Amino acid sequence: MSLDAHVVTHRGDFAVDVAVQTDPGTTVALLGPNGSGKTTTLDAIAGLLPLDGGHVRVSGVTWADAHTVLPPQRRRTGLVAANHLLFPHLTALENVAFGPRSRGLGRSAARARARAELDALGIGDLAGRRPTALSNGQAQRTALARALATDPAVLLLDEPLSALDPTTRAEVRAGLAHRLAGFAGVTVLVTHDPLDALTLADRLVFVEAGRVVQSGPPAEVVARPRDAYVAHVVGLNLYAGETRSQTLVETSVGPVVTSGHDHVGPSWVSFAPAAVSLYPARPGGSPRNAWECTVRAVEIVGQTARVRLTDDASGEPVVAEVTTASVAELRLQTGATVWATVKATEVTAYPA
């Protein structure tokens, strides 16, 4: 199964124009801030929201366009949301069997199909439990099994892991990755979590204000973000600029020196927060890029601190990642002034 969707629709006054294409047996992740149009795109593919234009085609079969509109029940989709929505009066087995039975499969065959799906997700021993006797992770895997038991052409996952605690989330993510590896259909995953996207998806589509701002394979997007939100998600500093020479790009934070690039014209420059060093005064020596900055926030995770700064000259944000020892030594607190430096060898420049 392959998916070719160009969703042109609206929800209230909010307009969406998003294209999603993916090959058989692959997963595409839709990422974006709240209200960017991700769930609206999913609903339109499922047939829960009409198109104003564009189309939805699965393996060449038209589900929706200007002339054809298949109702949701005739579209081979499976939908899993953050809330598992299991029937409280049914066991896990009967919840999963409900899907294939609703599509016409007999009781015994549906139960056999349900048991196989529960086994594939590692919770076959919980088949006889009702939802109240399941943990959140077990219930979410049951909901996923219910969707997969209908043999959907397109599996739609709307923040399926967002309601889980970190430990459970990691377990369910691993189980989901294993199951999707053997899924012949197409999966469309909506998520805010870059780890979900990077570990589960073959293609990333970033959406802002109802439009696609960047798409591509995960490795390509991580290496070369082309939008501020994308850079934030993948954890890089990103600035637009214009190439001035083979080692210099004029950017919104001023001239940035690189170790060399072979293009001219509009450019992006990026560097990792871990490449940023902080000093109480402008240092000499090897760094070729230096900015006087004001500390805006400090977030500590374990032995590492993420320091959010503002370049005093341009007002542009700069993010540094330093040790907690550096936080204490430099007395990094909101309002403090420091110098941020990056070596030319740590900067990546590429065409815009």
Structural domain boundaries in the chain? 3-223, 235-351
Instruction: Note the pLDDT of residue 286.
Output: 63
**Residue 288 in this model has a pLDDT that exceeds 90:** no
**Residue 339 in this model has a pLDDT that exceeds 90:** yes
Residue with tokens 């086994």: 119
User: What percentage of the chain has pLDDT greater than the value 70?
Assistant: 99
Residues 333-338, mean pLDDT to the nearest whole number = 96
Give Cα separations from 212 to 38, 71, 248, 257, 311 (angstroms). 10, 26, 30, 30, 29
pLDDT tens track for 104-135:
889 999 999 999 999 988 899 999 999 999 99
Instruction: Note the pLDDT of residue 102.
Output: 85
pLDDT mean across residues, the chain? 93
Please choose, from the candidates 113, 116, 135, the residue with its C-alpha nearest in 3D space to the C-alpha of residue 124.
116
Instruction: Note the pLDDT of residue 130.
Output: 96
What is the pTM for the complete model shown?
0.87
Lowest mean pLDDT among 43-57, 155-169, 262-276: 155-169
| Contact of 295 with 338, CB cutoff 8 Å | yes
Fold classification of 3-223 is Rossmann fold (3.40.50)
Question: Looking at the domain that runs over 235-351, which CATH code has it been given?
Answer: 2.40.50.100
Angle, helices 136-148 vs 166-181, to 10°: value is 20
